Amino acid sequence: MNTILEVRNLSKVFGGGSKTTVRAVDDVSLSIEEGSTFGLLGESGSGKSTLARLIPRLIEPTSGEIIYKGRGLQHLKDRELRTIREQIQIVFQNPFSSLNPRMTVRQLIGEPLIVHKRSSGAALEQQVRDMMNLVGLNPEHTHRFPHEFSGGQRQRIGIARALILEPKLLILDEPTSALDVSVQAQVLNLLVDLQKKLRLTYLLITHDLSVVRYMCDQVALMYLGKIVEQGEKDHVFHSPMHPYTAALLKDIPSTDPDQRMLEQVSLEADIVSAPWSGVGCRFSPRCPAAQTGQCKTIEPQLIGLPERQQVACHLVHTIPET
Ligand X SMILES: Nc1ncnc2c1ncn2[C@@H]1O[C@H](COP(=O)(O)OP(=O)(O)OP(=O)(O)O)[C@@H](O)[C@H]1O
Q: Is 288 exposed, middle or buried (0-12, 13-18, 19+ CB in 10 A)?
A: middle
Nearer to Mg ion (CB atom), residue 11 or residue 49 = 49
CB 46 within 8 A of CB 225: yes
Distance CA 28, CA 6 (A): 10
Using CB under 5 A, count the residues that bind Mg ion. Answer: 1
Judged by CB under 5 A, which stretch of 27-35, 47-55, 58-66, 131-139 contacts Mg ion? 47-55
Does 49 help bind ligand X (rule: CB under 6 A)?
yes
The residue length of the chain stands at 322
Q: What are phi and psi of 146, to 5 degrees?
A: -50, -35
Decide which of ligand X, Mg ion, none touches 305; Cβ closer than 5 to 8 Å per partner kind: none
Distance of CA 254 to the CA centre of its chain: 26
Identify which range of 45-53, 98-106, 287-295, 303-311 contacts Mg ion by CB under 5 A: 45-53
Task: Give me the least distance between CB of 45 and ligand X, in Å please.
Answer: 4
Q: Nearest to residue 203, comparing CAs of 229, 175, 165?
A: 175
Please tell me whether residue 160 binds ligand X under the rule CB under 6 A: no
Residues 86-145 that bind ligand X (CB under 6 A): none
Query: If binding is defined by CB under 5 A, does position 49 make contact with Mg ion?
Result: yes
At residue 82, φ and ψ (nearest 5 deg) are -60, -45
309 part of the interface to Mg ion, by CB under 5 A: no
| 63-68 and 3-14 strand pairing | antiparallel
Minimum CB distance to Mg ion, residue 206 (Å): 10
Minimum distance of ligand X from residue 25's CB (angstroms): 7
C-beta of 45 vs 288, nearer to ligand X: 45
Written as one string, the DSSP assignment of 87-111 is HEEEE-S-TTTSS-TTS-HHHHHHH
User: Would you say 124 and 103 are in contact if contact means Cβ atoms under 8 Å apart?
Assistant: no
Out of Mg ion, ligand X, none, what residue 57 binds, judged by CB under 5 to 8 A for its kind, is none
Applying CB under 6 A, does 206 fall inside the site for ligand X? no
- Residues near ligand X (CB under 6 A) are 14-15, 22, 24, 42, 44-50, 207
- Residues near Mg ion (CB under 5 A) are 49
